[in-house]
Amino acid sequence: MTAPHPLSDPTTGTGIPQTVERMRRVFDGGTTRPYAWRRRQLEGLGRLLAEQRVALAEAIDADLRRGRFESAMFDVAPTAAEVRHAIKHLRGWMRPQRVPTPLAVQPGSSRVLREPLGVALIISPWNYPVHLALAPLVAALAAGNCAVLKPSELTPTVSAVLARLLPEYVEGVAVVEGGPDETMQLIDQGLDHVFFTGSPGVGRIVAAAAAQHLTPVTLELGGKSPAVVTRSSNLRVAARRILFGKLINSGQTCIAPDYVLVERSVRDEFLGHLDAVATEFTERRALPVLSAKHAERLSDLLAGADGQLLRGGPADADLLTMPFSVVVDPAADSALMSEEIFGPILPVVTVDDLDDAIARIRSGSRPLAAYLFTRDGRQRERFLARVSAGGVAVNHTVLHLQVPGLPFGGVGTSGTGSYHGRWGFEAFSHRKGVLRQTDRIDPPLLYPPYVGHKRRLLEKAL
């Protein structure tokens, strides 16, 4: 390890104005703009993830009781992949983009320059406390920004580790630990961009606070992401892949399948596969949940579902665990079917056909993700044309998150803006249009007075 960079250190809420001002001075000094600086920071993040992989996984396990291997697999490794992708493509992303110049403004040339926004605020959540903090940071640094990172107060061990380690590997980054008060104080500093990952409710608060300063925002929120199982699909594979996405992190994933819509003609067969796969995957063990408050909320959702409980039961608020639970045909107006579950409960709803499933999805808010299981190409195209969602995976779940060339983000109440790969670079960049003309030629046609032959020529051009 190296000593902390003088341009980057952790801070507490009491030093927020000074921290932001320090980051502004770094950015205004111009050191973050060159390719070499950006690449050096990305390489530093890569070293952090490689050298501190065990420390990060242990910190996640201490806060979430998720298991070190799963933390390394789903939190640390995807972030390292994001770093590698950014390093590989950074020079191309930074290259000016030439665009056509109309005849009316010739002679000249036009191009688009990507320039950094300034000092960005990244507000990350608790459920993937490394990836959802550092993946946006990859994009911010690649785009040449300084950044203030505000990790979740609900994962204090991870937050402390990030605050300690980041200054040893990167420049131009400050970490602020704390809760909602610190978050609001940071937004009130009028930074150049706010990137927030969390619930729609808190997202509205963040957006409203940022709007007071006309600060642009990227909001990565959530919603009820459906999985549709048609009779043409491989039902056992569908069950396995839906539960793969659902059981990662005990269902505490923004793009986890929230509920299943299955065609009536294959419902019972699908439920049989689902029950068997659930036993295989969980080995009948209860799954960890974040807190007693979270456990009580999940138990209340289950109790008010008014459907058939295929397996599972209420959460244990003392042990902070919950058995994986499947509810068949819960009441449509129940909280289970109107709120994002964010836990190990899977409602399975019977539908007549794909059109019925699409109608049900369209009757609610647009989800962050939607999943379709089918072998029918016409069904696939109909689903893609009629279902609006942040992202879609066909015949799998959650894996679209791992494709760096795909934008990841929401639509409507599930979020605004996107990131990952080039899309993250663009989110933290200003696209500046530049027209360059020569002063060696100065056609008089443009200038007034617009009379006679000049007027007639201009009228033809309009």
Give the residue among 43, 49, 39 at the shortest CA–CA distance from 77: 49
Active site residue 254: yes
Length of the chain as a residue count:
462
Point out the catalytic residue in the list 220, 263, 340, 426: 220
8 Å CB contact between 1 and 167: no
**Chain-centre distance for alpha carbon 10:** 24
Q: Please list the alpha-helical segments (H only) found in 267-329.
A: 267-282, 292-303
Q: For residue 264, what are its two tokens? A: 């009536």
Query: Residue 87 burial by CB count (10 A; 0-12/13-18/19+): exposed, middle or buried?
Result: middle
Beta strands in 293-425 (DSSP E): 308-311, 321-322, 325-328, 345-351, 369-373, 391-394, 408-409, 415-416, 418-419
**Which DSSP string corresponds to 203-247?**
HHHHHHHHHTTT--EEEE-----EEEE-TTS-HHHHHHHHHHHHH
8 Å CB contact between 261 and 349: yes
Beta pairing partners, 218: 195
The upper half-sphere exposure of residue 124, i.e. CA atoms within 13 Å in the direction of its Cβ, equals 28
Tell me how far apart the alpha carbons of residues 277 and 425 are, in angstroms, rounded to a whole number: 39
Residue in the structure block whose two tokens are 């100065």: 442
Point out the catalytic residue in the list 82, 146, 177, 254: 254
* CA angle centred on 17, ends 14 and 23, rounded to 5°: 120
8 Å CB contact between 219 and 410: yes
**Chain-centre distance for alpha carbon 298:** 23
Beta strands in 59-100 (DSSP E): 97-99
Tell me how far apart the alpha carbons of residues 114 and 432 are, in angstroms, rounded to a whole number: 6
Q: Please list the alpha-helical segments (H only) found in 387-451.
A: 421-427
Q: For residue 335, what are its two tokens? A: 């909280």
Quick one: how many helices (H) and strands (E) in the chain? 16, 21
Q: For residue 201, what are its two tokens? A: 């409710």
Residues annotated as catalytic are 220, 254
